[in-house]
A and B are shown apart, each in its own frame.
Chain A
Amino acid sequence: MTQESVSSSNDNDLTVIIDTGCANLSSVRFAFERLNANVVVSADFDVIRSAARVVLPGVGTAGAAMDALKQKNLIGLIKSLTQPVMGVCLGMQMLASLSNEHGGRSEQDITCLGLVPTDIGDLDSKGLPLPHMGWNQIDVGDHPLFIGIENGSYVYFVHSYRAPISEYTLASSTYGESFSAAIGKDNFFGVQFHPEKSAKVGAQILRNFLNMGTPQ
């Protein structure tokens, strides 16, 4: 499952993208490779545990994504991580406590990782087309992920569910209602948008992420 990186100069400074089997894995890996990062995609416990930083990607539905983590026995491991962990899009939503994105298969709310105590619900677009798709502006807090990012910067979103504004909001955006464009608690944080598809602004955010965490 593990893909070897071509980089050798910074072998100890490893960024691991958790292999959730989801569709945007390649795009996230390519984005880090464009920044010359030492990055691997892996579901191997030791590889993930020893990483300087970890990315939790995800597209699809919350239920399917949590099932995938369960099947790979990754839930306990992810919860035990102490290095910076960044969720992307659905990966961010999986850090929350619950999601009401049932995917049509169940009436039950989906239990997520519970690492950021907030619940994922429907985005109230107030009549605007859904999904919320395209480039929207963010207002950012002082989290290290957003160093050098100005308020009003455009990033690329694709989603119909959202984390509400809360004390765990690290960045916000508005589409109908205001919602969390990024959330976080302790070493766990995530972005609702796709930094890997957000041109220069996204690259800066990923670069900031690469500056976090301690090489092992």
Chain B
Amino acid sequence: MLAKRIVPCLDVREGKVVKGVQFRNHEIVGDIVPLAARYADEGADELVFYDITASAHDRVIDKSWVSRVAEQIDIPFCVAGGIKTIEQAREKLAFGADKISINSPALTDPSLISRLQDEFGRQCIVIGIDSYYDAETDSYKVKQFTGDEAATKDTQWYTQDWVEEVQKRGCGEIVLNVMNQDGVRGGYDIKQLSMVRAICDVPLIASGGAGIMEHFKDVFELAKVDAALAASVFHKGIIDIGELKQYLHANHIAIRL
């Protein structure tokens, strides 16, 4: 049976892993490669590295650490941050990344998704979506350039429409990051994730809000996502990945132990 995946996310800034609360006030958590190796040893199923400054500042991530991660860890990993061209994507994949994740540049130019898919196949094209609940209109909407508070802006996309659009254009996986709850650790947004799950035919990764082990159980059981991504609960040692996987296994969720 296909296992549900536990995916630690390492937000990268200036070559270090950082974590902010609701995308603000980033603090350094540690070095990239040792943290990646530790998570692989503890049983992480996959890793995601986001260069949170790259899109907003029009910079491309320093590629050298991608290769160092690929040399040392034996689980899949995805690289995100400022990838706007086929060549930038090719470079990350050639250095050993299994997937590349596109967020803001896909909103600027949605044709990038289909061009990447034509070149590399959709299996390595992940679309990150930063979605928030807009209370005024009682709807879910997409934000862009969330890596930098000053640059963050609203888009014209409703989340449902963008989820449909990126699949039509050929993405292989979607990471849905729900901004309202990120860092607050109050649980994944089950309602929103369930809504997206219903219209998502590619693997769906839930992101944002994990605080306790039960949140992971809920998001797998109730929202039926394929993977759950989290950062601070792992970086700060609030949840141990090994213990989390034992807990999920005991609760009859398909997990690789």
User: Could you tell me which B residues sit within 8 Å of A by CB distance?
Assistant: 1-3, 5, 40, 45-46, 67, 70-72, 74-76, 90, 93-96, 98, 118, 120-124, 172-173, 200-204, 226-227, 256
Contact = CB atoms under 8 A, between A and B. Distances in A.
A148 interface: no
Interface of A: 23-27, 30-31, 33-34, 59-61, 103-104, 128-137, 154, 156, 158-160, 174-175, 194, 196-200, 202-203
A165 B201 CA distance: 25
Contact of A134 (B67, B72, B203): B203
Contacts, number: 99
Nearest to A195: B74
A59 B121 contact: yes
Contact of A158 (B71, B94, B123): B123
Contacts of A136: 1-3
A133 B122 CA distance: 11
A133 B70 contact: no
Given A23-B94, A30-B96, A60-B120, A203 B74 contact: yes
A98 B90 CA distance: 27
Contacts of A33: 71
A174 B251 CA distance: 22
A133 B175 CA distance: 14
A131 B5 contact: no
Nearest to A128: B2
A25 B2 CA distance: 26
A26 B203 contact: no
A131 B74 contact: no
B2 A156 contact: no
